[in-house]
Amino acid sequence: MVESKKILFVCVENAGRSQMAEGLLRKFAPQFDVISAGTKPKSQLIPNVIDVMKEIGIDITEQKPKELTNEMIAQSITVNMGCMDKKSYPALFVDDVIDWNISDPKDKDIEELRKIRDQIKNEVLNLITKLDDQ
């Protein structure tokens, strides 16, 4: 039996971008094992992030911010959502991190959140294509 590829989406607070990416990958590529995490996770997701995901039929209300572990990094293909805080983001020191450089959704209005969501969706769909070709 072939083990599914593990994908890890990382940002500092694990309350927005990485959670959107996790929800999108679960929907479009359930064959992959996906998780998101952060180095300083918040206690809950950004409410408007949940709302913009519901607009495209993805419910992430059950997802919770999680703390990033070295084990997660070691076992996964790691995607940095755009966090560049070297003190808070140890995965920057991993050789094969994919970096998407996506804006932080914190304190953004709903229109900006939609743009961020759509950018993440495009990145996720491109990632799926690349992973399926491997």
Q: Is 31 a catalytic residue?
A: no
Nearest Cα residue to 89 out of 27, 35, 9, 7: 9
CA 126 to CA 128: how far, in whole Å? 5
Residue 83 bears catalytic tag: yes
Looking at 34, 37, 46, 83, which residue is catalytic? 83
Of 11, 24, 60, 72, the active-site residue reads: 11
Interacting residues of 45 by C-beta distance below 8 A, sequence separation 6+:
15, 16, 19, 60, 61, 63, 64, 65
Q: Which residues are catalytic?
A: 11, 83
